[in-house]
């Protein structure tokens, strides 16, 4: 971490998944992230018309990275993109998964977290990132 990092850095992660209508599926995907210790789910905002849900998570760097990976993994397991239709453009079961510095961490650190999670998604799940 960079010199401006504090003892307890916090990172926000806002993955967007391609499911906005089936609450049971959304709940299972969110639960995969929420199961990671030290990660809090701040918001779950499903949209039926867009068939997309925006999820807001917060936690320390390593746990938030793990939570994001687990969420992407569960979304890939549960969302069938071959039948997906919605008003919003979509690129996969998880469209985007940004990491945002909240406190005690820099944007450069968040970029490194994103790169690490992206590499893991590609290596372990075979999903292009």
Q: Over the range 95-118, which residues count as b (16 or more CB within 10 Å of their CB) and which as e? A: bebebebeebbeeebbebbbebbb
The token pair that represents 38 in the structure block: 């030290």
Cα distances (angstroms) measured from residue 127 to each of 15, 27, 73, 97, 124: 15, 22, 9, 13, 8
91 is catalytic: no
Q: Where are any strands of DSSP class E within the chain? A: 10-13, 16-17, 40-47, 52-59, 94-96, 99-103
Q: Active-site residues: which are they?
A: 88
């Amino acid at each position: 971490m960079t010199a401006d990092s504090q003892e307890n850095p916090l990172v926000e992660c806002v993955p967007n998944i391609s499911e906005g209508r089936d609450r049971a599926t959304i709940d299972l995907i969110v639960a995969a992230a929420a199961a990671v210790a030290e990660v809090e789910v701040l918001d779950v905002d499903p949209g039926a018309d867009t068939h997309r849900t925006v999820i807001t998570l917060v936690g320390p760097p390593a746990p938030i990275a793990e939570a994001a990976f687990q969420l992407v993994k569960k979304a890939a397991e549960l969302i069938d993109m071959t039948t997906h239709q919605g008003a919003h453009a979509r690129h996969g079961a998880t469209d985007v998964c940004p990491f945002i510095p909240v406190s005690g961490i820099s944007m450069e650190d968040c970029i490194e977290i994103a790169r690490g999670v992206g590499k893991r998604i590609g290596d372990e799940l075979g999903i292009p990132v």
